[in-house]
Amino acid sequence: MRLLPRSTAVPAALVLALLPGAALAAETPAASGFTITDPRIKESSGLAASRIHPGVYWTHNDSDDGPYVYAVDSATGKTVARLTLTGIGTPRDVEAISLGPDGQLYVGDIGDNKDGTWDHVWIYRFQEPKELGDRTVAAEQFTVTYADGPRNAEALMVHPVTGRVYVASKNEQGGGLYEGPERLSADGRNVFRRVAEVPWVTDGAFSPDGTRLTLRGYLTARTYAWKDGRPEGAGERVDAPWQGQAESVTYTPDGRTLMFGAEGANSRVVAVPAGPAAAASDPARTPAPQRPGGVPTGSAGAQGAPAGQDSGGFTKGALVLAAGTALVLVGKRLFRRRNS
């Protein structure tokens, strides 16, 4: 935003009177990126912004860590709480975390390193603590199955208005968006049904008002309008940062910023203004070339560009996207095998 010359400066009170929402914007500056410094967090695979602890983000490791969830202060990058979940079994492949309108955190133990062979996965739910600090918390455990058979998934999103839980499966040829029952039940199995086609997804997040859904992969991210329980159209490309093992995304509580995270020791969380083709606001960010992203059903295809958008460079971009995705996938599989 350009500043007015001193000779034409307008009193701040007049500016606030003329611009609705200006006072709120002045009180809530845009979020900035941060580095997770806790050496215990080596595979941050999900992010959820706290609504009761300003500037705090909940995260967890991918696997082989135990029933732990961490609260990280974005002002310092330090862990301010480690929660130990009780009342659940042994976590298998925790991939996502999301905060629901009920003030409860939902943890998705939904990964499947065997490429969709487990006949069920789990979701854990517990109340976000009002006070931060290391503690043990009781969690509910929900068994999840898919109507069309086992899936590998890394994205779990809770709608901030309806409280409905969604899971996006992960597949080289594109995945599916699955809708859970209206309310999860701790008795029996919760069947998730496919409601839309989505691209390769490693995480996703709803905007705080529930009108947008952002999905990210290793190389791209797109934001879709959300209407009647479904994503609409081809979505708008978001200038997501290049992060290698890109695993997480969440909105800030004011909905103005997307926070993108990745696995690895001392991993960087990058702030990107929410909106189509937005540029990252993190000085440590290495920008990635713009590439076509995936699109939902009714458009050019899971890895194609929507009609009239990015059409000129689609072939080259698609090849780059496929090659990059393949390299990341092969690397991750080798890492899994080495540590299995």
Residue whose token pair is 């929507």: 306
* Residue with tokens 């609409």, as numbered in its chain: 232
Contact predicate 68/28, CB 8 Å: no
pLDDT tens across 60-117, in order? 999 789 999 999 999 999 999 999 999 999 999 999 999 999 999 999 999 987 777 8
Q: Which two tokens stand for residue 113?
A: 């390193």
Q: Percentage of the chain surpassing pLDDT 90? A: 63
Tokens of 165: 């839980």
pLDDT in tens, 237-291: 998 899 988 999 999 999 999 999 999 999 999 999 997 534 444 545 444 433 3
pTM of the model: 0.77
Partnered with residue 83 across adjacent β-strands are: 69, 135
Q: Assess contact for 263 and 245: CB atoms under 8 A.
A: yes
> Distance between CA atoms of 61 and 39, rounded to whole angstroms?
11
- Interval 141-181: pLDDT, tens: 999 999 999 999 999 999 999 999 999 998 877 799 999 99
